[in-house]
Amino acid sequence: MLIWIPHYLLRTQLNISVLPHMHHLLALLLLVVAVCKLTALIVKRRETLRNLEAFPGPPAHWLFGHVQEVIKSRTPIKKQCCNVTRYKYFQYPFAFQIWFGPFVSFLNIHHPDYVKTLLSTTGVYGLLVSSGQKWFRNRRLLTPGFHYDILKPYVKLMSDSAKTMLDKWESYAQTSESFELFEHVSLMTLDSIMKCAFSLNSAFNVRLSSHFSGTNAYIKAVYDLSFLINLRFRVIPYHNNIIFHLSPHGFRFRKAVKVAHHHTEEVIRKRREELKKETELDRIQAKRNLDFLDILLCARDENQHSLSDEDIRAEVDTFMFEGHDTTASGISFILYCLACNPEHQQMCRDEITYALEGKDTIDWEDLSKIPYTTMCIKESLRLYPPVPGIARKITKPLTFFDGRTAAAGHCCICVYLEIWVFDPLRFLPENVSSRSPHAFVPFSAGPRNCIGQTFAMNEMKVVIALTLRRYQLIEDPDRKPKVIPSLVLRSLNGIHIKIKPVDHQP
């Protein structure tokens, strides 16, 4: 039968009587593929269950696994523990297995000593970023880009971006309506990363409503990619490459990747031209502020090898995504937390007013003068971590302090949400020193921690200080955020607050 197929296809006049056979054959083929795939998944599930035997977890729904509990657990219920949290602490200490659907599982880690073992070991790799030797070399070449000499002038750039956004908020301050702030903040952090990383002025005035109307294709592409990457993580069928590839979202994703790559390649090419004559960072710095792109282009390893264009593009992409979406999520939830906690908000405002001495801007030196605000920022990062889970694939068996071992090949995820009460005093130095340093790891820890941590903390301080100086933040009890599990923490219905101008009476 199979031998005859090419022969039929070569015929100029297709014999109609053959068509039903073709359909049957195709259906049979699809059935065989589906059965093989399903068998492979069932075998993998059995193997996973065997390997995670030492880490029992709460009962899982046969189809959804723990998805429903996880979604419920992200709802901010003050002073109340949700199902998963209760399980975590009382029934399944340190770590337990968690299922997303019938075939995808993680080892959910929720104890500082387990977190420490996982993040300090070298037999693991991140799922989103490069691994091994290449990561090690690139990380070393990138580190000088986060030296405080480089970060210092960025404070002014961040402050300018924040002011542009706050000017736009003037119209919201005149009404008693709440407004959605995440989109505003996200555009602002994108604007500031473009200025700091590539000395590019983004078209910050592009409108969000009809989504940029093609004026700034790159911004639209980055914005779309952030949305689609998070969407793909949330929608379980999209974890399959073929389904995602064939879906309309997959099509949009490929289109956005093309635009982003094209833009980045152009920026690199132009800067290479510009730097042809000048390859010494010191000499460039004498003329203008350095940005990340200068650092990347001038970086040399011990053999005087520079990064390839492809490597630079990959690093630029990582910066753009790690650098704007995470910080936008952080800032948005901090503003929301302060709106819900007016007494802490006022203490921050008093501190900021005193530190800024009447200035309408914030300088590098001021960043260390606002410790209470810094504690509120950390407390919000604890309650609403912008990166809610840190995934690692173990390449060799990993034994934890209580003697239990996770087999190679498993993904671990650290979820470190514990208590729902907003209490910045947790971050008083005396309270911090009595806790494990691995109890609070919003920027991860160990060799692969967040390289942009100081950059992000600076930006959060700048934006919070300038916002509180100008506006009073008020919670809208009718529009609470519906927090959803995503790569970067988001709210399904946006983040809404009301604002009023601050009365600057002496």
| Nearest distance in Å: CB 20, ligand HEM | 52
Residue 442 in contact with ligand HEM, rule: CB under 6 A: yes
| Nearest distance in Å: CB 412, ligand HEM | 11
10 Å Cβ neighbour count for 254? 12
Residues 108, 455, 471, 499: which binds ligand HEM (CB under 6 A)?
455
Site string for ligand HEM, 292-311 (x = CB under 6 A): --------------------
Residue type at 199? S
DSSP 171-188: HHHTSS--EE-HHHHHHH
- On whether the CB atoms of residues 424 and 372 are closer than 8 A, the answer is yes
Residues 81, 104, 129, 257: which binds ligand HEM (CB under 6 A)?
129
Which string of b and e fits 72-96 if b means at least 16 CB within 10 Å?
A: ebbebeeeebbebbebbeeebebbb
Task: Return the range that interacts with ligand HEM (CB under 6 A); candidates 210-218, 356-364, 437-445, 479-487.
Answer: 437-445
CA distance 195 to 327: 15
Residues 48, 327, 486, 491: which binds ligand HEM (CB under 6 A)?
327
| Nearest distance in Å: CB 406, ligand HEM | 17
CA distance 240 to 195: 36
Task: Return the range that interacts with ligand HEM (CB under 6 A); candidates 212-220, 425-433, 448-456, 494-502.
Answer: 448-456
DSSP 95-137: EEEEEETTTEEEEEE-SHHHHHHHHH-SSEEESSS--HHHHHH
Give the nearer residue to ligand HEM in terms of CB position, either 387 or 499: 387
Task: Return the range that interacts with ligand HEM (CB under 6 A); candidates 88-96, 152-160, 372-380, 445-453.
Answer: 445-453
DSSP reduced 3-state for 416: coil
Residue 485 in contact with ligand HEM, rule: CB under 6 A: no
Task: Return the range that interacts with ligand HEM (CB under 6 A); candidates 10-18, 65-73, 360-368, 444-452.
Answer: 444-452
Give the nearer residue to ligand HEM in terms of CB position, either 129 or 259: 129
DSSP reduced 3-state for 261: helix
How far CA 56 is from CA of 48, 66, 92, 148, 408, in Å, comes to 12, 13, 7, 46, 17
End-to-end Cα spacing for the chain: 93
CA distance 25 to 23: 5
Give the nearer residue to ligand HEM in terms of CB position, either 330 or 424: 330
Site string for ligand HEM, 135-164 (x = CB under 6 A): ----x-------------------------
Residue 330 in contact with ligand HEM, rule: CB under 6 A: yes
CA distance 398 to 254: 37
Task: Return the range that interacts with ligand HEM (CB under 6 A); candidates 104-112, 159-167, 239-247, 316-324.
Answer: 316-324
Give the nearer residue to ligand HEM in terms of CB position, either 193 or 221: 193
Residues 322, 351, 366, 475: which binds ligand HEM (CB under 6 A)?
322
Residue 386 in contact with ligand HEM, rule: CB under 6 A: yes
CA distance 210 to 228: 17
- On whether the CB atoms of residues 148 and 454 are closer than 8 A, the answer is yes
DSSP reduced 3-state for 472: strand
Nearest Cα to 410, choosing from 121, 135, 36, 130? 121
Q: Would you say 36 is a known binding-site residue? A: no
| Backbone φ, ψ for residue 7 (5° rounding) | -60, -45
| Nearest distance in Å: CB 296, ligand HEM | 12
Q: Which residue is nearest to ligand HEM (CB)?
A: 452
Nearest Cα to 393, choosing from 77, 69, 85, 124? 124
Residues 186, 326, 341, 486: which binds ligand HEM (CB under 6 A)?
326
The first and second tokens of residue 84, run together, are: 């998963």
DSSP single-letter state for residue 52: T
| Nearest distance in Å: CB 8, ligand HEM | 53
| Nearest distance in Å: CB 142, ligand HEM | 7
| Nearest distance in Å: CB 89, ligand HEM | 23
Q: How many residues sit in the footprint of ligand HEM (CB under 6 A)? A: 24
Give the nearer residue to ligand HEM in terms of CB position, either 89 or 125: 125
The binding site for ligand HEM (CB under 6 A) comprises 126, 128-129, 139, 318-319, 322-323, 326-327, 330, 386-387, 390-391, 442-444, 448, 450-452, 455-456
What residues form the annotated binding site? Answer: 450
What residues form the annotated binding site for heme? Answer: 450
